[in-house]
Amino acid sequence: MTIVCRGIRGATTCDENTREAILEATRDLLQRIIAANGVRPEDIASAIFSTTPDLTAEFPAVAARELGWLDAALLCTHEMAVPGSLPRCIRVLIHWNTTRRAEEIVHVYIRGAHTLRPDRSAIQAPAETSGQ
């Protein structure tokens, strides 16, 4: 099988602009993406995290590092400040080296971000953690 680089998209929201809220929401999102796709840290080429301008207390990439994403290139940025857009939103685009076809990738939109992509939303209990 040929390994190609595929994108995995996801988004979530957090209740407040605190370090703890940003890291908890990001960890929850990443753990769901990992579980849904069988992602291993060594297969992640890079990830781009964005937040709405109202989230400034911490970089979401810190949560990825805490999950063991030590060799992947990570970048954090802000989304455009579009009037009426979803507040306190964290988005991620993961570049994943995989043998899966594009249609097999599971994109994850949770919490308030389910409104961004209702066709891909995953409203459920928090993802299982493995000692994290």
Q: For residue 3, tell me if it sits in a domain.
A: no
Cβ 111 vs Cβ 25: under 8 Å:
yes
Q: For residue 128, tell me if it sits in a domain.
A: no
Q: For residue 4, tell me if it sits in a domain.
A: no
Tokens of 47: 């990830």
Number of domains present in the structure of the chain: 1
| Residue 120: active-site member | no
Q: For residue 93, tell me if it sits in a domain.
A: yes
Cβ 66 vs Cβ 132: under 8 Å:
yes
Buried b (16+ CB within 10 A) or exposed e, 107-116: bbbbbbbbeb
| Residue 32: active-site member | no
Among 9, 24, 100, 120, the active-site one is 9
Q: What is the pTM of this model?
A: 0.88
pLDDT, tens digit, 9 for 90 and up, residues 105-125: 999 999 989 888 777 655 443
| Residue 76: active-site member | yes
Question: How, if at all, do strands 44-51 and 89-98 pair?
Answer: antiparallel
pLDDT, tens digit, 9 for 90 and up, residues 73-101: 999 999 999 999 999 999 999 999 999 99
Query: Is the confidence at residue 1, as pLDDT, over 90?
Result: no
Q: For residue 46, tell me if it sits in a domain.
A: yes
- Average pLDDT in the 30-49 region? 97
| Residue 66: active-site member | no
Query: Is the confidence at residue 130, as pLDDT, over 50?
Result: no
**CATH of residue 72:** 3.30.1330.40
Structural domain including 111 reads 10-120
Q: For residue 2, tell me if it sits in a domain.
A: no
- 3-state DSSP call for residue 1? coil
